[in-house]
Amino acid sequence: MNYVIIGNSTAAVGTIAGIREIDSVGKITVISDEKYHTYSRPLISYWLEGKVSDKNIYYREPDFYEKNGVETILGKKATKIETEKKCVVLDDGLSVPYDKLMVATGSKPFVPPMKGLEKVNYHTFMTFDSVKAIRSEIKKGMKVLIIGAGLIGLKAAEALSVYETDITVIDLADRILPSILDVKAGIKMQSHIENHGVKFILKTSVEEFSEHSAKLQNGMTVDFDMLIVAVGVRPNTELVSDAGGKVERGIITDMTQKTSLDDIYSAGDCTVSYDSSADTNRILAILPNAYLQGETAGRNMAGRENYYLNAIPMNAIGLFGLHIISAGDYNGEEYVTETENTYKKLVFRDNKLKGYILMGDVERAGIYTGMIKEGIEIDDVNEELLKQKPQMMMFSKERREEKLGGIIR
Amino acid sequence: MKRVYVNEDWCLACHLCEYYCAAANSGAPNMIKAFKTEGKKPLPRIKVEEGNEVNFAVQCRHCEAKPCVKGCISGALSVKDGVVSVDETRCVGCYTCVLSCPYGCIVIDEEGHRIQKCDLCVKNHNGEPACVQGCPNRAIVFEER
């Protein structure tokens, strides 16, 4: 069997693991337009901050490809999938034939049209190269303007704060991390970050850029030495849509991660997932999801049918030392407790835990995540203990025995 | 593979397993040095839950699903011979594994800004699980099931 993987990040590594569980001899070729050994995208902010070395930004050990019998074609872009001939065409004209193909192309930074932006030497915050460029330009005392108060923009702010820069973040939304947190947690996190010297200007956007300043819709003007655009990301779906595959906001797959095209699979941030906590399809651009989708796809590509189920949104966020863990869907009956330094929200619906936010005290949060994923009914646990904190004590003795005893899943 | 199991009918909630675990993983040669030496406070990777009727200790199940390893953003968590362990030099303390572990068995090391977890004592001088050796009521066993 001849496997080809377009992409070299989390979903690709998951795919390799899935294939090698079953097929130890088939040929695997990884194609990526980035020249690096597989590295961790979320670590780029830690690298910029100086917390992660050049050696440790890599997602897998240096001998990973060798150990897994993977050939790499790095620094070349896949431009076309020819489904009739079953091959991938590269930007240098080379054709790479496949029996089974994985499209793990991830996403790209979304840069909305903004007046005057062409005058600015701006950065995005997505790849190793993008943070290398920032690192080569950043200097102590610089004024940095970040467009976007989502996770990427805020991780950029955290990393750049170590360079003693003057940071301003603007966002069209009325709060930070709007797609991950509720209003209250967003406000608490915002004030925590403000205490570390980062300024926020919310509910506004840029009317017009000049080379070193931005005139905002609200009348303010912000001067900057460096501009980072972190508004959001868009899935890289073109290879599949151009080949005639089904694409909506992202690439559409079935539960085996196969696209609508024969022998072509897809995984990671470029795909649409089924969110079982909200019973809806959405893009779940989170690293664990990419790995698990890739692994599922890899097994199927190698001939063992299996399904990827129970995907839910979930995030572990640490910013300036404050940690938030959240998962699931926030529509339902709420149970909220808070202290000066902590915030907890549990959301119940249909007699189940559907979502939660833990801020400050995040210990053992995964027990809640597990409850959401497994769809355990509230009647089957001790509700008082559930609300108190994540603990195995809330389960019945039988379920605990199943979880902790001889039966290993 | 052999794993650590707890018989909750026999657990006295004495917390000795936590002390033995913390000491074994502190790098100190014995319990007294582990807890008396200045510096980092030893952290247990096993946790005793106490209830009105039952008590039990919980530690990493080294489960088949391994959501912590598969969700690890840095590649710090890995599996060798079924044992899940963390490379502390590569952990960045993002706590994605805390979010992912359905047993609540990833321990937050706040001081170190990273995580710790049970590795069945394969990496320390103890050689076999210290919690099992230290349990006075044999409520914790290390066996194949």
Chain A residues with CB-CB distance to B100 below 8 A: 288, 314, 366, 369
Please, what CATH class does the domain formed by B1-59+118-145 belong to? alpha beta
Q: State the pLDDT confidence band at A144, using cuts at 50, 70 and 90.
A: very high
pLDDT in tens, A180-221: 999 999 999 999 999 999 999 999 999 999 999 999 999 999
Answer whether A325 sits within 8 Å of B95, measured CB to CB: yes
Is residue A48 domain-resident? Answer: yes
Same domain, A259 and A222: no
Question: What average pLDDT score do residues A348-359 get?
Answer: 98
Answer whether B99 sits within 8 Å of A316, measured CB to CB: yes
Same domain, A129 and A208: yes
Chain A residues with CB-CB distance to B74 below 8 A: 40, 42-43, 52, 56, 59
Q: State the pLDDT confidence band at A405, using cuts at 50, 70 and 90.
A: confident
Answer whether B98 sits within 8 Å of A59, measured CB to CB: no
- The ranges assigned to domains in chain B are 1-59+118-145, 62-107
Q: State the pLDDT confidence band at A408, using cuts at 50, 70 and 90.
A: very low
Give Cβ neighbours of residue B41 (< 8 Å, ≥ 6 apart).
Answer: B111
pLDDT at A409: 41
Same domain, A284 and A330: no
| pLDDT above 70 for A407 | no
pLDDT in tens, A250-301: 999 999 999 999 999 999 999 999 999 999 999 999 999 999 999 999 999 9
Is residue A316 domain-resident? Answer: no
pLDDT at B38: 67
A397: CATH: 3.30.390.30
Is residue A351 domain-resident? Answer: yes
Chain B residues with CB-CB distance to A405 below 8 A: 5, 145
Q: Which domain-ending residue is among A229, A246, A266?
A: A229
Give Cβ neighbours of residue A104 (< 8 Å, ≥ 6 apart).
Answer: A5, A6, A7, A9, A11, A12, A15, A266, A267, A268, A270, A290, A294
Same domain, A202 and A257: no
Is residue A311 domain-resident? Answer: no
Mean of the per-residue pLDDT values of chain A = 96
Mutate which: B99, B111, B116, B131, vs A, most A CBs within 10 A = B99
pLDDT at A406: 56
**B71 reaches A (C-beta below 8 A):** yes
Same domain, A199 and A265: no
- How many domains in chain A? 3
In DSSP notation, A173-211 reads SSSSSTTTS-HHHHHHHHHHHHTTT-EEEES--EEEEET
Same domain, A82 and A134: no
Burial A64-101 (b: 16+ CB within 10 A, else e): bbeebebebbeeeebeebeeeebbbbbeeeeebebebb
pLDDT in tens, A34-83: 999 999 999 999 999 999 999 999 999 999 999 999 999 999 999 999 99
Same domain, A168 and A197: yes
Give the Cα separation of B60 and A129 in Å (integer).
Answer: 37
Answer whether A287 sits within 8 Å of B63, measured CB to CB: no
Same fold, B1-59+118-145 and B62-107: yes
Is residue A153 domain-resident? Answer: yes
- Which of A214-223, A398-407, B105-114 is the least confident region? A398-407
What is the identity of the amino acid at A244?
G
Same domain, A152 and A212: yes
Answer whether A367 sits within 8 Å of B93, measured CB to CB: no
Same domain, A224 and A125: yes
Chain A residues with CB-CB distance to B5 below 8 A: 404-406
Is residue A288 domain-resident? Answer: yes
Mutate which: B1, B96, B141, vs A, most A CBs within 10 A = B96
Same domain, A252 and A222: no
In the numeric block, which tokens belong to residue B128?
A: 């076999």
B62-107: which CATH architecture? 2-Layer Sandwich (3.30)
Is residue A327 domain-resident? Answer: yes
Same domain, A331 and A358: yes
Is residue A312 domain-resident? Answer: no
pLDDT in tens, A127-138: 999 999 999 999
Compare CB distances from A40 to B61, B73, B98 and report the shortest one's residue. B73
Boundaries of domain holding A135: 117-229
In the numeric block, which tokens belong to residue A49?
A: 């901050």
Q: Which domain-ending residue is among A199, A229, A259?
A: A229
Share of residues in chain A with pLDDT > 70 (%):
99
Same domain, A97 and A180: no
pLDDT at B39: 72
Output Rg (C-alpha) for chain B, integer angstroms. Answer: 15
In the numeric block, which tokens belong to residue A1?
A: 């069997």
